[in-house]
Structure 1
Amino acid sequence: MQSWQSMVEANAARLIRTTGRTPADWAAEARTAGVGTRDELSLWLKGQGITGYNLMSIDWEVFGLPEFFLRSADELYDGQYADRSTLRPISDRILLWASETPGVIIQMRKTYVSLQTSRRKFAQLSPSTKTAVDLYFRLEIPGLPGLEPVRAAQDPFAWRVRLRRADDVDDAVLRSLSTALADSLAIPSA
């Protein structure tokens, strides 16, 4: 399982690859330019052609990482289920499948777990309520009982199944994860 550290490192590597400069180099220049707030940094960097993940990497260098970025994967996972321990066996079953399946990367976040390949996320697991864990998919998976559309603007995860007990993680759910994984690994046609 991975924590936020892998994202921090990937963003720094992307910045170096695209600009030839490290986050520390950009942070020093921003300080010299008199940048003192996040808004000022964002405007200043956008003027330099720096946006998105590259901008985040410099922001973290100047102002520090959010507190939850400093937590380990285990600490993040424990935090998700601190007040809903009866739901953890549901997620544990899915994470067992993910850890035993070649090509799956488990990425812990503060409020959810991302299941991804080197190409993109294919599923997301979240203890959304005190009584259920939601498993989100990018694609509609025919034949998966309980699959329903989710109305969230700008979110590629348009489908969800709500899991209330560990036994809900059955063969149909695991086959659906395998289907979503295969879709994520497929090379798009040109």
Structure 2
Amino acid sequence: MATPEEMAQTMINNLPEKTGKSITEWKALLTTSGLQKHGVIIKLLKGEYGVTHGFANLIAQLYLKPDLLENKVTENPDEDLLAGKEAITEVYKKAKALFENVNGEVEFAYKKTYISLRTPKKQFALLQPSTKTRVDIGLNLKGVEPTGIVAAAGSWNSMVTHRIKLSSVEEVDASLATWVQKAYDANS
């Protein structure tokens, strides 16, 4: 299935055929109109130009937010995840080091609010700075009973079976490293 970005790009590519103008031409036309409100722009495109709602919405979004489809490359994705949560930086760094020290190949796939940690085959864990005072680790350990600091994930995240809530660097210890390695081994 195509990503939302790929679907939007397909619509952009189809604009000339479906609406008679390219996105560049639509942006130029809207610039001369002076309109700045999404709903007003859609009303104009649908009413005066006969553009269907889906294309009108896309044109309005790209006009008002030109960088919407640009790939957001960041120099330090960890800083982005920790923005506003600087108080847990040390806990986060120590927890991340557990995954960097796993005996095996770990892929760090940064998402908007967490890191997906993968073996060469599939996701085995995630690392998420959840609040200003807590970092969560999710582990994929089907059939393993949670004990101690490790709890069942429940409804927190359907991608993992176990959850560890960390609020101090002291909680990131050898016992936790063993759990992380166990999750890696179970999914590799």
Decide: shared fold, TM above 0.5: yes
Residues 35-50 of structure 1 mapped to structure 2, 5 A cutoff: none
TM-score, scaled relative to structure 2: 0.60
Find the residue that maps to 1:126 and give its secondary structure.
Answer: strand
* Structure 1 residue 92: Cα displacement: 0.9
Find the residue that maps to 2:131 and give its secondary structure.
Answer: coil
Give the residue type in structure 2 aligned to 1:132: R
Residues 36-185 of structure 1 mapped to structure 2, 5 A cutoff: 69-72=71-74, 74=76, 76-101=77-102, 102-139=104-141, 141-142=144-145, 144-152=147-155, 155-185=158-188
Give the residue type in structure 2 aligned to 1:34: K
Q: Which among 14, 19, 31 is matched to residue 15 of structure 2? A: 31
Give the residue type in structure 1 aligned to 2:114: Y
Give the residue type in structure 1 aligned to 2:174: D
The percent identity for this pair of structures is: 19
**2: CA distance between counterparts of 1:180 and 1:154?**
16
Are the aligned partners of 1:144 and 1:176 in contact in 2 as well (CA < 8 Å)? no
Structure 2, unpaired ranges of 5+? 20-50, 56-65
- Aligned-pair Cα RMSD in Å: 3.4
Larger relative contact order (Cα-Cα within 8 Å, sequence gap ≥ 6) = 1
Deviations 1:93-140 (A, max 9, x none): 122232233311112222111111221111111111222111111225
Alpha-carbon spacing, 1:33–1:129, altered in 2? closer, same or farther (3 Å): same
Alpha-carbon spacing, 1:29–1:113, altered in 2? closer, same or farther (3 Å): closer
Which of the two has higher C-alpha Rg? 2
Alpha-carbon spacing, 1:39–1:138, altered in 2? closer, same or farther (3 Å): farther
What is the aligned length?
Answer: 142
Are the aligned partners of 1:93 and 1:166 in contact in 2 as well (CA < 8 Å)? yes
Deviations 1:52-75 (A, max 9, x none): xxxxxxxxxxx97656x513261x
TM-score, scaled relative to structure 1: 0.59
